[in-house]
Structure 1
Amino acid sequence: MSHHTDATPPGDARPINIAFGLERLGLWSLRIPLVAALIFAALAIGAGIGVSRISVDDSLSQLFRSDTPEFKQFEQVTKRFPSNEYDVLVVVEGKTLLERDNLDKLRSLVTDLQLVDGTRGIISLFSARAAPENGRIPAPLFPETLPDGGDYQALIDKIRGNDIIRGKLLSDDGTLALIVLSLEPSVTQSTKLNGIVTDIRKMMDEDLAGSGLKGELSGVPVMQLEIRNAVERDRLLYNTIGFVAGCLVAILFFRRVSFMIIAAGPPLIAILFALGALGWLDFRLNMFLNVMTPLIMVISFSDSMQLTFAARDRLIAGENKVQAFRNAIIVVGPACVLTHATAALSFTALMFTESDLIRTFGEAGLISTLIALVTVLTLAPLLGVLLVRGDMTRLKTGKNADTGVQALRRFCAWIAHGMVARPGLYSIIGILVVAGLGVFYAHLEPSYRLADQVPDKEQAVQASGKLDNKLSGANPIDVYVQFPPGADLYSPETLSVIDQVHETVEKQAGVGNVWSLDTLQRWLSQKLGKDDVATLKQYVDLLPAHLTQRFIAPDHGAVLVSGRIPDHDSSRLLPVVNQLDAALAPIRVAHPGYQIAVTGLAVIAARNSSAMIEKLNRGLTLEFLFVAAFIGLAFRSITVMLASILPGIFPVVLSGTVLWWMGEGLQFISVVALTVSFGLGLSATIHFLNRLRHEDDEHYAADPAVAVERATVLMGPALILTSIVLACGLAVTVFSDLPSLRTFGWLSAFAMMAALVADFLILRPTISFLRIHLRGSRRGQPSIHSRAAE
């Protein structure tokens, strides 16, 4: 095959520069390679220090952090009643739980847990008290020494019928017990948490040994720890394994380690530089920023591979290495600039959402994209000059022939020839397919579950599932009651409001395990026969501070009525939240001075997740047209603008259709994955259109189809290898403990292959059809199909 090696194609006019000359930034490293290498080495050291500064943000509420009144109220409640944020839930289960020996072992565990460093209180079935007698302080429900025989069975019957324990701390079937261990806030936010959780698990194993009982941990601190560990592990392990596997694929085709390094080195260094910059700028790693590494890889590797292929072709054609990489920058560089620019636009759009987490993700993505662009443009030619050795022209023929790449070229030529032979037919088929897939995509419903953000191969999710099944739920749902100024906690009206709110929450279907000050008041009325304020005050003062602070604000200006709700999808939780909020409306009307609001993380998630996902999805949809217009403006061509729409949309709607077929909803991480696929599809489109620009000179302009075929043959192999490498790099994340990262991995890998299909089967006939009918065609030029292997 003959190769075009001129930086500027022959003809009367130089092609327009779609990057306004910004690609020439990559030429400076060719002028001073040794100095550039020293600069990169120094930057790598600084970036390494920056990476070490990155910490993990394991907050479960960060996704919904915003300036909305609902979230501000949630933060206010969390500050005044912080218990739920610092509770470790110890779940002990077994069919023989209430046997005498096992109950003794369980009590020993509760006693030992109180000695855990950082513990400020504990609630369990052993916290329950018997009915008070003769005005004395109630005795513990469990005697110091458990009775035997019939007396023990009577005790068990009393325990299972106790209103404080039943359905709250002990399941109705008597096979599951809940122990709530409250930790000091300072402990949960430090490195001590890992050691404390390890100590708790060790105590469970030792105290429950030989009992047949199984203990598991859940609660916000445990979930945060598991998220933290999974994020730190996955960030390096899976990306490294996947990228190495992909690089091995590249070596098989390049047949030289040096070219593999030239192609893979810039993306890896771009990841280091970007993460280092984020570390120096105090960004914190979370479930979104955890996918920044593969995002940078996606954005950078495609461009790096195209530059490497272009330079390699020129070396084989006989150019020296400086000329080859200089011409590669001039020809391919503008497309690299434009691909990064479109990615930057996508990230910029995310900076206008309500969620702080998504805005931060947009900012980090914009910074990383700019760093990746500069790194790829400057480092690829530098590595080429430093690493390429020997004469490449021998790969043209003989036993050293470039068989792997030539096979890919022949395949690309065959596909391109078939697509441009009947461009009108295939263009119509492409439109119908995308439209049909779009119908299925439109039926995707927003989906969010807290469990999707937590490693599901660890204990927290499993323990929460057991609480959902046997104790009405693991997630707190709270009703916050703020008193009017001057109102007293023990005034008749205030106690009446608390009683009405408590009763309303108890009656709400889907909510259980309800606790409040009214729980104590009812217990005193039923067991002691007293409902006067003095007795209530007396018993409130007798309770431990860590217990009363769960329901009564320190200044006695507000109370909390707290229940539990299962960790269902937000679409199932939202009706429950709305029904409860509506049921509380009459109380608000009857007592206008009291602020009564349903809140809690589960409530915030149910209310906000669907709206936020829908906004992100609409933003992605609008982005199709906006980015297509941007590409058309850069190329100064309506034809290019129209041709870029379908290939960009196809991988998104196809991936969405697969989600719909699997019965999956559209999650936050799904939208991010679809954004990645959109970006990859655009990258392939831009590189092809840029290559087509250079092939569309006087010799090939007579027949637009010939230029399309030649551009496909020249850049197709790089596109195929890029897709394979990136799919390998991302697909390996399906082994992650984080469900969200697994979803991101398989969906992105699938979308990348879909983008490859769209590039060959939709873009080629579409651009041929539009070029023929919008500018006319002169026939008679020979097809490159017959010359593909020359």
Structure 2
Amino acid sequence: MKRAESLLRAERKPRLGKQHALAFGFERIGLLSLRFPLAIALVTIALAIAAGFGVARIKVDDSLSQLFRSDTPEFKQYEDATRRFPSSEFDVLVVIEGEALLERDSLDKLRDLVTDLQLVDGVRGIISMFSARQPPANGGIPERLFSDPLPEGDAYDELIRRVRTNEIIRAKLLSEDGELALIVLALDQAVVASNGLGDVVGEIRKTMAQDLEGSGLKAELSGVPVMQLEIRNAVERDRIVYNAIGFVAGCLIAILFFRRVSFMIIAAGPPLIAILLALGALGWLDFRLNMFLNVMTPLIMVISFSDSMQLTFAARDRLLAGQSKIEALRNAVLVVGPACVLTHATAALSFLALLFSNSDLIRTFGEAGLIATLIALVAVLVLMPLLGVLLLRNEAAFAAKVGAGDFGVEALRRFCAFIAARMVSRPGLYSLIGLIVVGGLSFAYATLEPRYRLADQVPDKQQAVAASGRLDAKLAGANPIDLLIEFPKGASLYAPEPLDVVAKAHAILEQQAGVGNVWSLETLRRWLAEKAGKSDVATLKQYVDLLPEHLTRRFLSAEQDAVVISGRIPDADASKLLPVVDSLNASLAGLRAAHPGYSISVTGLSAIAARNSANMIGKLNRGLTLEFLFVAVFIGAAFRSVTVMLASILPGIFPVVASGAALHAMGQGLQFASIVALTVSFGLGLSATIHFLNRLRIEDDPDKDPGVAVERATVLVGPALILTSVVLACGLAVTVFSDLPSLRLFGWLSAFAMIAALAADLLILRPTAMFLRRLERRAGAWWNNPRAGERRRA
């Protein structure tokens, strides 16, 4: 207690004259609020209103492929295939399951359902086992497999036997055990892209409930449109509910320590307004909310709340020391402001590095982060003093009342003084221990492998993931994998060579382990040959022309210059899917060589994800690793000190490698949400490091032992750091209740990383800074007087 008080007394007269232009004086924009508070308040209100309209403009980008959107040839080909063959991106999969599925009453209800689903607005086509036909008789039009009404007795049993052995239905639209049926609804593309998707899916659910009532059958929806809708709803709900709950919990903690609501508002107001202004700007600039941009709110909160808390603590200390409101706020801006500028600058550099990614999504995230960081910096520097001017009253009375019983903050100061005293007592030993710990955790981090599953983007407490799981278990899977075959210019679809290429490619996809439910033009061709004994091109063309357009567009382009062979694959980790894609490409090599004029490509969302996810996660991870060194150099240049550069490395790395080690211990790999969470933790760790080093620079006296400055800086900066970490950890930890697996992972990992960053700041940065500063002074003494150094060694 006495130690902390003595350090505080020494702080009352900060040595501002010792500062060089750490932030080139940019922090002085905060002084505008002290000179023109009314004008700044009016401008802020106007900008907040405009930002509110901008937030209302934000739309959700719920496309499952947007994560891999890039300028690469593979993705452009995927987009072209989706445009020419609009199927999987717009299919709603209706999964019907029950032991009595093939009983007569159940089939009657199921057929009624199929009929009614075709009448739902927005549905442009439907495929089910009721679409199947019998072999044509005498060259006529084939009759439906299911007659109306359904037969009875032995005739019904014979029908079920034909259904269960039908090549088009078996293991494609009906499971082998006869207990699961798949209905494919093709939605209009405009509906999927509009806000009317929710109404269409709601009408489908309502129709299912009404038609299957009393049947004992269970119906669930899956498919890309349903997943997109669930993502859209979850993103919009989570960004409001969980951020609000977490921040309220954090504010309550802040009130307990500050003991005044006004100080809580002064500390929490600028980050909240920064979030509003940043999201409003993104809305006006037509950014779309997605999996990455959904974490922009906590990113802004992490960066700006840490700085705002440090400014508030600094102003509060000066009020307790007897300074006036204006003096206290001015000194807080001048002393802490340069570190605030530097923390936001390092965050901006991190986002700037993302602009070089080959993923449009990640580049967009980098652009949005850069814009939000700059807005947050200005908001914190300008609004914290503004709120202080407007809300602080009776400073003398506050100093007299709180100074006599500031129990919460004093407890934090005593704890910081205790830690600092221990850390500076044997800085070399503790620095070595820190180096060993970081090295060991880095080894565990290096073993992490990239992980990606489509289900990780989709709410797992809703229907889509559960229904996809049933398709994975009883049919070939819910995720498409396609072969796109483009013919040479001028080649006719019905010529012998194109049909031969399609047949061989179809057989290769069918034989590929892990792929099932294969459909293409060859499926119809085989059916005609086996059931009708017709293998001539004229009959094939006749039956293609008889099919509805929504069905032919699934495997045949409108210009008839390309076909798609579509299969299904289970939702698995990209590390398991990539070998399937690679094996399929290898199997197609011979066919490509035999027909050089034909383009044969493996595409589809599963293939794009398998190819790109590991590469993208790996690049982000390597970029984060290189960022450690780059940012350390930047910090060293800003402080004009190699010692500062070296001191910032270990505490900056520790929360990242500690979080990675936690993932390793839990058997998890690196996901996209993990990388974003690690970026957040790196940002918080840097913020704490910069604020401490800035304070150490101010408090250091070359004529005294550096341990005194380390202890003083710890007591002054530490309480704000601890309170910031607790508040932000609470704000992020509540996301573990989200329906989105990626957001849950982001939440708990970020909260863990923040606690790790706090530990690194207190237990690694202090002794390392002390140890390096002592070495620096010894080296300086030797350099200035080498003979004296030689005599001392002798």
The answer to whether TM tops 0.5 is: yes
Matched, 1:772 2:774: yes
Gaps of 5+ in 1: 779-790
Matched, 1:145 2:125: no
Distance change (3 Å), C-alpha of 1:61 and 1:160: same
Matched, 1:14 2:18: yes
Q: Secondary structure at the match of 1:546?
A: helix
Amino acid at match of 1:67: D
Q: Which moved more, 1:500-509 or 1:386-395?
A: 386-395
Cα distance in structure 2, aligned partners of 1:386 and 1:394: 15
Distance change (3 Å), C-alpha of 1:382 and 1:405: same
Q: Which moved more, 1:151-160 or 1:406-415?
A: 151-160
Counterpart residue number, 1:718: 720
Contact kept, 8 Å, 1:23 with 1:377, in 2: the verdict is yes
Cα distance in structure 1, aligned partners of 2:746 and 2:707: 37
Matched, 1:183 2:184: no
Distance change (3 Å), C-alpha of 1:280 and 1:330: same
Q: Which moved more, 1:59-68 or 1:144-153?
A: 144-153
Matched, 1:318 2:322: yes
List per-residue Cα deviations over 1:621-680 (Å, max 9, x = no partner): 000001001001110111100000000000000000111111111011111100110010
Cα root mean square deviation, aligned:
1.4
Query: How big is the shift at 1:177?
Result: 0.3
Q: Secondary structure at the match of 1:67?
A: coil
Contact kept, 8 Å, 1:456 with 1:738, in 2: the verdict is yes
Cα distance in structure 2, aligned partners of 1:767 and 1:182: 63
Distance change (3 Å), C-alpha of 1:393 and 1:694: farther
Query: How big is the shift at 1:776?
Result: 3.3
Query: How big is the shift at 1:391?
Result: 3.2
Contact kept, 8 Å, 1:6 with 1:327, in 2: the verdict is no
Which of 746, 755, 767 pairs up with 1:753?
755
Which of 492, 502, 508 pairs up with 1:504?
508
List per-residue Cα deviations over 1:27-74 (Å, max 9, x = no partner): 001101111111111110011011111111111111111111111111
Distance change (3 Å), C-alpha of 1:240 and 1:120: same
* Identical-pair percentage: 72
How many residues of Structure 1 are paired with residues of Structure 2 in the alignment? Answer: 775
Q: Which moved more, 1:701-710 or 1:445-454?
A: 701-710
Matched, 1:533 2:537: yes
Counterpart residue number, 2:743: 741
Counterpart residue number, 1:781: none
Amino acid at match of 2:488: P
Amino acid at match of 2:239: R
List per-residue Cα deviations over 1:562-605 (Å, max 9, x = no partner): 00011100000000001011101111111111110010111011
Distance change (3 Å), C-alpha of 1:71 and 1:399: closer
Amino acid at match of 1:592: P
Amino acid at match of 2:427: P
Matched, 1:218 2:222: yes
Distance change (3 Å), C-alpha of 1:392 and 1:125: farther
Query: How big is the shift at 1:198?
Result: 0.4
Counterpart residue number, 2:106: 102
Contact kept, 8 Å, 1:453 with 1:739, in 2: the verdict is yes
Q: Which moved more, 1:141-150 or 1:468-477?
A: 141-150
Contact kept, 8 Å, 2:322 with 2:399, in 1: the verdict is no
Distance change (3 Å), C-alpha of 1:406 and 1:153: same
Cα distance in structure 2, aligned partners of 1:422 and 1:96: 75
Cα distance in structure 2, aligned partners of 1:5 and 1:427: 27
Query: How big is the shift at 1:392?
Result: 4.8
List per-residue Cα deviations over 1:508-546 (Å, max 9, x = no partner): 000000000000000000001110011111111111111
TM-score, normalised to structure 2, is: 0.96
Which of 261, 278, 284 pairs up with 1:280?
284
Contact kept, 8 Å, 1:288 with 1:361, in 2: the verdict is yes
Counterpart residue number, 1:704: 706
List per-residue Cα deviations over 1:314-353 (Å, max 9, x = no partner): 0000001000000000000000000000000000000100
Matched, 1:327 2:331: yes
**Correspondences of 1:539-558 after superposition (within 5 Å):** 539-558=543-562
List per-residue Cα deviations over 1:16-36 (Å, max 9, x = no partner): 221111110110011011111
Cα distance in structure 1, aligned partners of 2:256 and 2:423: 28
Cα distance in structure 1, aligned partners of 2:11 and 2:697: 14
Contact kept, 8 Å, 2:59 with 2:289, in 1: the verdict is yes
Amino acid at match of 2:725: S
Counterpart residue number, 1:783: none
Amino acid at match of 1:443: T
Query: How big is the shift at 1:15?
Result: 2.1
Query: How big is the shift at 1:152?
Result: 1.3
Amino acid at match of 1:61: S
Matched, 1:344 2:348: yes
Counterpart residue number, 1:784: none
Distance change (3 Å), C-alpha of 1:398 and 1:723: closer
Matched, 1:49 2:53: yes
Runs of 4+ in 1 over 4 A off after TM superposition: 4-8, 392-400
Distance change (3 Å), C-alpha of 1:397 and 1:79: closer
Counterpart residue number, 1:390: 394
List per-residue Cα deviations over 1:700-725 (Å, max 9, x = no partner): x4110011001101111000000000
TM-score, normalised to structure 1, is: 0.97
Contact kept, 8 Å, 2:12 with 2:321, in 1: the verdict is no
Counterpart residue number, 2:785: none
Distance change (3 Å), C-alpha of 1:397 and 1:407: farther
Cα distance in structure 2, aligned partners of 1:392 and 1:432: 49
Contact kept, 8 Å, 1:704 with 1:777, in 2: the verdict is no
Distance change (3 Å), C-alpha of 1:405 and 1:777: farther
Cα distance in structure 2, aligned partners of 1:392 and 1:752: 36
Amino acid at match of 1:21: G
